């Protein structure tokens, strides 16, 4: 018997659990017959399965929740062998070790060690409730949800999404949750499409792709009206002092048109996202197909266009052969660590389990660009870093929003559930950030 302190066992378990985490990621990609490309940003490891080794960094939350402060560089190097991954080097605790273990035994060992050591509920929860597990726990009214946006008022999360006039859930369906897990449908924003929008876009049947922001003491909810495949589109705005239906101040007020596109324009005025930059300027990004994603300045006092301000910046596009669609849409922008991040959805939504949507990101020091992926290539040329792709069950993840809740960021999006007729379903994944400032998300 080799004597071993409880502290060393806890450290060993943290490493074993991280290794198991890595193997589960590997398994997920192998089951789908995929190989993540170097620097893609959508994986929890730095390196590539195209090479025989992979370098893996323990997640900071795992290290903090399960291991003492001496984890040092918190890195492990794995080497691929037939039917197993060899843990070639543990570069932690100022020592190096080499071992080889079948993945099945490693998974069993990590579970047994955790139970035997009697981890506190908080520590065990830190490992169990990692960001990908949140999706497995979502319950309640989580479908149909398409093009979600989200905001928190007090202790309640409010989520709005696309709605059609003929849908039972109505126009701009409204859901709430206290914990991001259990969701309850609480009606809709509109009973009918505003008349001005019906007049502007004949044939429109829904209110699409909402986005919500709070400023100047009011909640500002942007929405789009269009017809499928056309760029005769409008973006409108409705505001409210509160999202508390029991308040005397609760009342939605439609503010009318914000921006529109005509059939002769090179852009499509849907999929709005509001941003306040680090200097206090207000912006609206928008766009779907055509020439891509645009950015327009807004009046900070109203959240609408400033009269006679015709500035329009191009942020991202998907170059395509003549008369072919440039499949990019659904911008969402945030500021973090001196960069502006532009999330977009590539390829095609709205095809159920056959949808090919996936999420891409780029960043820029300047809000108006240029935005580039991790490889330095421009989003105006169709590049960017992949954040999230679908899996066997949940296909076509996209039309994302970012919820910034205290020190934690979440990616909120829909995906199509292949086990339930391809129904668009709410998904929420925690965002981890790499040391060099790129988002990492697990489906």
394 in a structural domain: yes
Laid out side by side, the sheet with 358-364 consists of: 328-336, 339-346, 358-364, 385-388
Against a cut of 0.75, is the pTM above it? Answer: no
Q: Same domain, yes or no, for 154 and 117?
A: no
Tell me what pLDDT residue 89 has: 43
> Any catalytic annotation for residue 191?
no
Whether 144 shows a pLDDT value over 80: the answer reads yes
User: Could you tell me the residue range of the domain that residue 117 belongs to?
Assistant: 6-128
Sorting pLDDT into bands at 50, 70 and 90, what band is 37? very low
| Active-site residue identified among 147, 260, 271, 432 | 147
Residue tagged 């973006």 (tokens) = 235
Query: How large is the average pLDDT for residues 16-28?
Result: 50
- Residue 412 shares a structural domain with residue 290: yes
Q: Is residue 98 part of a domain?
A: yes
Res 440: pLDDT: 96
Summarize pLDDT for 182-192 with one digit per residue, the tens: 999 999 999 99
Q: Which residues contact 433 (CB under 8 A, 6 or more apart)?
A: 336, 409, 439, 440
Least confident segment among 115-124, 203-212, 427-436: 115-124
**Is residue 405 annotated as part of the catalytic site, yes or no?**
no
Out of 77, 109, 128, a domain closes at 128
* Catalytic residue from among 21, 329, 347, 409: 329
Report residue 322's pLDDT band, with 50, 70 and 90 as the boundaries: confident
Cβ atoms of 345 and 414 closer than 8 Å: no
SS3 40: coil
Confirm whether 1 is domain-assigned.
no
Domain boundary (77, 107, 128) is at: 128
At 384, is the secondary structure helix, strand, or coil?
coil
Cα torsion angle, 10, 15, 17, 18, sign = positive
Element (H, E) at 26: helix 6-31
Number of domains the chain is built from: 2
Residue 309 included in any domain? yes
pLDDT at 325: 81
DSSP per-residue codes, 95-156:
B---EEE-HHHHHHHHHHHHHHHT--HHHHHHHHT-HHHHHHH-EES-SS--S-EEEEETTE
Say how many Å lie between the first and final Cα of the chain, rounded: 42
| Residue labelled with tokens 């977009």 | 344
Residue 282 lies in a domain: yes
Residue 7: the pLDDT is 54
> Of all residues in the chain, what percent carry a pLDDT higher than 70?
70
pLDDT class of 224 with cuts at 50, 70, 90: very high
| Tokens 């009206």, residue located | 225
Q: Rounded mean pLDDT of the chain?
A: 80
Which of 128, 147, 180 is where one domain is finished?
Answer: 128
pLDDT at 17: 53
352: DSSP letter: G
293 and 164, same domain (yes or no): yes
What pLDDT is recorded for position 82? 42
Q: How confident is the model at residue 58 (pLDDT cuts 50, 70, 90)?
A: very low
Res. 63 pLDDT band, cuts 50 70 90: very low
Question: What is the mean pLDDT of the segment spanning 194-200?
Answer: 97
Q: Let me know: does 11 contact 68? Beta carbons within 8 Å.
A: yes
């Amino acid at each position: 018997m080799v004597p071993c302190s409880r502290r060393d066992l806890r450290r060993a378990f943290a490493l074993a659990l991280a290794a198991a985490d890595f193997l589960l990621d590997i398994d997920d990609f192998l089951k789908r017959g995929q190989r993540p490309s170097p620097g893609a940003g959508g994986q929890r490891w730095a390196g590539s399965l195209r090479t025989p080794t992979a370098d893996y960094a323990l997640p900071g939350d795992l290290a903090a929740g399960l291991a003492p402060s001496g984890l040092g560089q918190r890195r492990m190097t794995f080497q691929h062998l037939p039917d197993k991954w060899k843990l070639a080097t543990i570069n932690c605790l100022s020592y190096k070790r080499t071992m080889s273990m079948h993945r099945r035994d490693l998974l069993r060992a990590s579970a047994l060690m955790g139970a035997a050591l009697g981890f506190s509920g908080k520590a065990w929860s830190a490992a169990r409730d990692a960001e990908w597990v949140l999706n497995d726990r979502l319950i309640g009214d989580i479908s149909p949800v398409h093009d979600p946006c989200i905001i928190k008022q007090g202790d309640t999360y409010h989520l709005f999404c696309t709605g059609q006039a003929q849908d039972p859930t109505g126009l701009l369906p409204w859901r709430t949750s206290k914990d991001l897990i259990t969701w309850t449908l609480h009606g809709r924003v509109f009973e009918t499409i505003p008349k001005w929008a019906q007049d502007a876009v004949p044939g429109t049947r829904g209110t699409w792709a909402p986005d919500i922001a709070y400023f100047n003491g009011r909640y500002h909810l942007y929405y789009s009206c269009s017809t499928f495949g056309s760029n005769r589109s409008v973006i409108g705005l409705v505001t409210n002092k509160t999202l508390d239906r029991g308040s005397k101040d609760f009342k939605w007020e439609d503010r009318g048109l914000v921006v529109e596109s005509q059939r002769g324009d090179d852009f499509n005025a849907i999929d709005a996202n509001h941003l306040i930059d680090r200097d206090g300027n207000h912006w609206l990004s928008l766009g779907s197909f055509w020439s891509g994603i645009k950015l327009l300045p807004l009046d900070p006092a109203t959240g609408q266009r400033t009269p006679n301000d015709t500035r329009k910046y191009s942020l991202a596009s998907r170059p395509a052969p003549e008369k072919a669609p440039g499949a990019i849409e659904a911008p969402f922008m945030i500021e973090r660590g001196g960069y502006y991040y532009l999330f977009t959805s590539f390829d095609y939504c709205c095809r159920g389990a056959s949808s090919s949507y996936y999420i891409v990101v780029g960043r820029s020091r300047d809000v108006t660009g240029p935005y580039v992926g991790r490889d330095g290539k421009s989003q105006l040329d169709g590049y960017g870093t992949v954040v999230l792709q679908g899996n066997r069950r949940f296909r076509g993840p996209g039309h994302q929003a970012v919820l910034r809740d205290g020190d934690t960021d979440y990616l909120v999006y829909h995906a199509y559930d292949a086990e339930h007729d391809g129904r668009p379903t709410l998904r929420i994944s925690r965002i981890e950030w790499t040391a060099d400032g790129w988002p990492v998300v697990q489906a």
